[in-house]
Every structure is written in structure tokens, then in C-alpha cells.
Amino acid sequence: MTKQTRITIQTDSVLLLRGRSSTRALCPQCGAESEMVALENLQVISNLDRPTVEEWINSSELHRLQGDDGSALICLNSLLARVRNTKPTDPALHKEIRQ
């Protein structure tokens, strides 16, 4: 009788691209320099729906800063931390691609 062992490896990756729409600034809540993205541009870099993002902002899980032009800027450090703490089955994240 042959014994079989199944090994499953799960990996996560994050791809960050710098663009014209991001700004480096000191996040007052993190106390660290971070890329800041305008709330309006968040859909460009993530597939999170607007109600989820607003919920995270209202719960103080996402750090927000007022930009010089009055726009709301989101700290990417806090966004990444919040996404990492979200289970993959959370409907706020993209649906799994099944092979």
C-alpha cells in the first residue's frame, strides 16, 4: 500500500506601482513616510468596492490625510495592512480564479 502526501503551498503577492497620482507624505497616524493616493484614484490601484473602502475609513482602519488641494489622501501602508488582515473569501476582495 502506497502512502500519499499532499503538500499545498499558498503564496501572496503585492505589486506596487508608482504613478503620477501618488504622493509621498508623512502619515500622522503611522508616524512614517508613506505613499498617499487620492481617494478618487483608489479604484485604479485596487479592486475594492467604494462602500468597503468608506467603511474602513470610517472605522479608522485606513489612515486619511487632507491633501494641499483639499482631496482625501489614503495611506498605502494602512491599506496594505488592512488588505492583509482580510480573509480571501471576503466579498470586498476579488473573487478567486478557479482553475
User: Tens place of pLDDT for every residue, the chain, 99 residues?
Assistant: 788 898 888 876 666 555 566 688 888 888 888 888 888 877 776 777 778 888 888 888 889 888 888 888 888 888 888 888 765 444 444 433 333
Please state the domain count of the chain: 1
E-strand stretches of 1-99? 22-27, 32-38, 64-66, 72-75
Q: Residue 95 has what pLDDT?
A: 39
45 domain residue, yes or no = yes
Q: Residue 23 has what pLDDT?
A: 81
37 domain residue, yes or no = yes
Range of the domain at 52: 22-84
Model's pTM, two decimal places? 0.61
9 domain residue, yes or no = no
Amino acid type, 48: L
CA-to-CA separations, 48 to 5, 14, 39, 52, in angstroms, rounded: 37, 14, 12, 7
